[in-house]
Each structure stands twice: as structure tokens, then as C-alpha cells.
Amino acid sequence: MTDWLLNRYYSKSPMNGSGLHTYAPLLLHLLIAAALAGAMTAVSVLVGWRRPSRAKQQPYECGMEPIGDAREPFSVKFYLVAMVFILFDVEAIFLYPWAYIFRSLRWYGFVEMMMYIAILLVGYLYLWKKGALDWHK
């Protein structure tokens, strides 16, 4: 790279505005999303029907009649399944960078990723056998 290209993005002064123009598309995207959300809410308020009834004023709970106290404790099983889901979801994120550079890694990268997936599969099978994924136990 030439000195001009390097100096265009990397300067000695960290507080100058040379790199801020790269955030303009992100700012534009956020402004359009906020404006669109505000416009849709405003149109809904202005055009929408207002016919309150007793049934519409009740809290909605997935089509079921609300019974009991809302502060009832959840089963620990719910939290365990949620944590396992997050764990495997985070582990799956590591597949994306590998897929991006897969061709440059050749067989070494392929074997390494198959070992990684095998370790994840062993953990998944262990949780399955222990019953950690079963809601009704």
C-alpha cells in the first residue's frame, strides 16, 4: 500500500474526523428505522379503531385464560434449558468465521472444525442422556 492510502485511514491524531464518514451509512440506517417505526406508530394511533371492551382490557397470555398469580416461580428446568440453548447458540457463532476462511485453511481447518463439532456433539448427547433437555421431568 502506498503512504497516501495508509495515511488516509490511519493518522497520528486519534481525535480528527477522518474515520467518522465510515459511520454515515449506519447512522442513516438507524435514522430511517426510527422514522419508519415512529411513522407506523403515528398512523396506527390516528387511523386505528378504538373500541375498548372488557375482553380487550384483560392481559393476554398466549390464548389461555389467566389464572393464579403472575409472580409464581418458574421451574429450574426452564432456566437450565435456556442456559443450554444460549451455550450452544454461542458455540454455533464460531462456525461463521471458520466458514468465511474455510478455503484458506485447507484440510487442517476442516479436521480442526470437525473435532470442534464432535466435542459439541458429545456435550449435546451427554445433556440429552441426563435429561436436561426434557421439559416434562
The CA-based diameter of the chain, rounded to the nearest angstrom, is 72
Closest listed residue to residue 95, CA positions, set 83, 110, 82, 81: 110
- DSSP of 38-85: HHHHHHHHHHS-----HHHHSPPBTTBPP-S-TTPPPPHHHHHHHHHH
pTM of the prediction?
0.45
Given a contact cutoff of 8 angstroms between Cβ atoms, the answer to whether 114 and 78 are in contact is: no
- At the second CATH level, the architecture of 3-130 is Up-down Bundle (1.20)
Please write the tens of the pLDDT for every residue from 88-128: 888 888 888 888 888 898 899 899 999 999 998 998 899 88
Residue with cell 421431568: 137
Domain boundaries along the sequence of the chain: 3-130
pLDDT in tens, 44-83: 999 988 888 887 777 776 766 667 776 777 777 777 888 8
In the predicted structure, residue 41 carries a pLDDT above the cut 90 = yes
pLDDT tier, 37 (very low <50, low <70, confident <90, very high otherwise): very high
111: helix, strand or coil: helix
Q: Rounded to the nearest 5°, which phi and psi values hold at 65?
A: -70, 130
